[in-house]
A and B are shown apart, each in its own frame.
Chain A
Amino acid sequence: MKREEIREKLKQILFETDDRNADQVRDCSEDSDLRTDLGLSSVGMLYMVFSIEETFGVRFENVSMNDFKTLGDVVDYLENKTEEGKSK
């Protein structure tokens, strides 16, 4: 899956997670901070992770919420995960 595709799907998940931050999500970039720029709480982060697992069919293992600071960090993680899936 291309990086742009992952980013767009992630944006959709963020919309669904908390629609009160719709404007911030629409204008966000990979450098956007998940907590300060996109307004995600720790529960919001967990909700996002569960939604990602469902959408992308991946499993977040040995990670904690502080491992993901920006949207780019999540995209990186998913890019690696989907690459791993392909090589298996």
Chain B
Amino acid sequence: MNAGNKKGRPRTHLFYDFVKITAALPGVVAFRPKYLYENEAAKKRIRGGALLIANHFGFFDPVYLQFAVWYRRMRQVCLQQFFDSRAGWLFRAVHCIPVDRDNIGMDSIREIVTSLKNGEVVGMYPEGHINTENEDIQTFKSGMVLMALQSGCPVIAIYMKPRKHWYERLVFAIGEPVDPHTVCGDRKGIAAIEQMTRVLKEKEESLKILASEGKT
């Protein structure tokens, strides 16, 4: 459960929990999160390893996404350049997993798969970049499906409705867990991965509609 870091030291959650607890009340007051669910299965709390995927509309999405699964610790996948910056210590302290988009390293991928296998929740943004142009969901990159297949964990799609004004509530539309092996069936290789990616993109689109309608 508590895998070590690269220096072999066990990971401590002290800083992560401190940030989470101190940010909880101000966050709830400021964002007043509202949760919408695709169906009854989506309402169940996440137990064990799960890969969360969400739309990416701003720099603070990792913070918002934590409010979607406030009851679990979450590891987020972020760009290597953030780790290399002056704020790198912060990303390390909250157990982010760095990925170099231009030159993907096997160590990063293995860390994501291992975390999922160890029962952790990992958050990813399959659009691959912050979408500042419009509210349309961009094409999904399929790497997340490979990681879900390798770990055997379900994928949970979440749509976070972008807030246009500071006083608007933060709306989450949460989908039911999707088992990649069920969707892919006997298919193997890239064909299976692309099939699952299409299913998840469609799910994210339907969650967007759910969020915009705003019905619980």
Contacts and interface: CB of A to CB of B under 8 A. Distances in A.
A45 B141 CA distance: 14
A41 B191 CA distance: 12
Q: Contact size class for B?
A: 10 to 19
B188 interface: yes
A64 B106 contact: yes
A42 B128 CA distance: 13
B29 interface: no
Interface stretch (A2-10, A29-37, A46-54, A80-88): A46-54
A44 B212 CA distance: 35
B142 interface: yes
Given A60-B106, A65-B103, A46 B189 contact: no
A1 interface: no
A39 to B, nearest CB: 10
Q: How large is the interface on A (under 10, 10 to 19, 20 to 34, 35 or more residues)?
A: 20 to 34
Interface in A11-65: 16-20, 41-47, 49-50, 60-65
A46 B107 contact: no
B138 to A, nearest CB: 16
Interface of B: 100, 102-107, 109, 141-143, 146, 150, 188-191, 193
Given A17-B190, A46-B106, 5 more contacts: A46-B143, A62-B107, A65-B103, A65-B104, A65-B105
